[in-house]
Amino acid sequence: MSLKDVSVRNAKPREKAYKLTDEKGLYLFISPNGSKAWRQKYRFLGKEKTLSIGLYPDISLSEARNARDKARKQLAENIDPGAAKQLLKRSAKDAAANSFEVIAREWHVKFLNRWTKEHGERILSRLEQNIFPWLGERPISEINASELLSALRRIEARGAIETAHRIQQTCSQVFRYAIVTNRAERNPALDLHGALAPVKKNHHASITDPNEVGNLLRAIDTYKGFFVTQCALKLAALFFVRPGELRHAEWTEFNFEKEEWRIPAEKMKMRETHIVPLSSQAIAILRELKALTGNGKYVFPSMRSQDRPMSENTVLDALRRLGYTPDEMTGHGFRSMASTLLNEQDWNRDAIERQLAHGERNTVRAAYNYAEHLPERKKMMQHWADYLDKLKKNH
């Protein structure tokens, strides 16, 4: 006799477990603790087996019957419904373990030591905000180019074109990692070449005309603000390192006897040790500054705390106080200034690029190349300091 909804609903627990039988092997198993579970008894290859369908009321009587009928169709096709269900569970578990988010986070941890702390955090944050919500749970082997493009289009639609391109590159690296770890067979990011709007190159504003460079240097000499900030401006011109590398400089990194500033790999964008040869002019500025900040950790401490470096906007704000707009000069502009003028003076391009700490693409050499072209770079850095002095005097 078949069950009724009311009898299922009103079934009460007893001292011992019992069952209410429906039809064609389906029954409701009631435990002493009150739980009610749908089960189906069936035979496969001569053996009696039990299929767990689910708990009531999560699974209604009609839904349990539909599951029973599906199992009976599988039996008619010589398929064990219990084994099929277990296989489906394992597949779902494998899919979750091999989802894009799981593999992307694994990749991120694997290669975290290649980036600065800030850059690594930025990479993960971009994925969390722009990719994981839409593709994070998808098995990475099933994601196609159309799905990835759809996610990237969301970024593009808000005008963040460069971010869309950067995230596409990151996703490509994740897919490559999945391929080499045998969890994907192809990289759909490669199919999207040319699919996104091109990035409009916005170069950092810089002064490269020698006469204007002289004017800038003279303006820096007249700066009336914090003395440490004035020194940072002078050394930004002499060192042409990235602004973040300059403001995080520590006294322990400087060796006046060897005439060099050795920046640890973990502070560099490309995660490689970087040597900045010190010109006599740079050493003179540093010795004067050391009397003021030498008892602390940072060469350029914050005005508010000796335990923190100066703000990332300090040099930029100082340039504004000197009358230079964002379209005329930036902290990064000192790098373009040096690159342009040193190339015009026919210095070895490789030595210039190495001094700018541009990325070494040969990973085998990357661990050893921080001293590459060093003798020539020492000559070049002293020449650069002398050249700036000449420009400052020629007015």
- Give 140-168 pLDDT, tens digit per residue: 999 999 999 999 999 999 888 889 999 99
User: What pLDDT does residue 5 have?
Assistant: 87
pLDDT at 45 over 70: yes
Stretch among 5-9, 232-236, 280-284 having the lowest mean pLDDT: 5-9
- Phi/psi at 360 (5° precision): -85, 115
At 96, is the pLDDT very low, low, confident or very high (cuts 50, 70, 90)?
low
CA distances from 213 to 153, 221, 332 (A): 42, 13, 14
* Domains of the chain, residue spans: 5-93, 100-192, 210-393
pLDDT at 395 over 70: no
Cross-sheet strand order for the sheet of 260-263: 254-255, 260-263, 274-277
User: What pLDDT does residue 362 have?
Assistant: 44
Q: Is 114 a catalytic residue?
A: no
Which position among 108, 126, 332, 354 bears the catalytic label?
332
The tens digit of pLDDT for each residue in 229-270 reads 999 999 999 999 999 999 999 999 999 999 999 999 888 877
Q: In whole angstroms, what separates CA 231 from the centre of its chain?
A: 33
Mean pLDDT of 205-234: 93
User: What pLDDT does residue 90 have?
Assistant: 73
Which position among 68, 126, 271, 335 bears the catalytic label?
335
Q: Is 242 a catalytic residue?
A: yes
What distance in Å separates the CA atoms of residue 252 and residue 271, rounded to the nearest whole number?
19
Q: Is 274 a catalytic residue?
A: no
What distance in Å separates the CA atoms of residue 200 and residue 101, rounded to the nearest whole number?
30
Q: Which CATH class is domain 5-93?
A: alpha beta
pLDDT at 223 over 80: yes
**CATH topology identical between 100-192 and 210-393:** no
Which position among 41, 269, 297, 320 bears the catalytic label?
269
Q: Is 332 a catalytic residue?
A: yes
Q: Is 335 a catalytic residue?
A: yes
The tens digit of pLDDT for each residue in 359-389 reads 544 443 444 466 788 999 999 999 999 999 9
User: Are 62 and 38 in contact, with CB atoms under 8 Å apart?
Assistant: no
Neighbours of 145 (CB within 10 A): 15
Q: Which CATH class is domain 100-192?
A: mainly alpha
Provide the CATH topology of domain 210-393: hpI Integrase; Chain A (1.10.443)
User: What pLDDT does residue 87 have?
Assistant: 76
Mean pLDDT of 33-45: 91
User: What pLDDT does residue 371 have?
Assistant: 72
Provide the mean pLDDT of the chain: 89
Which position among 358, 365, 379, 390 bears the catalytic label?
358
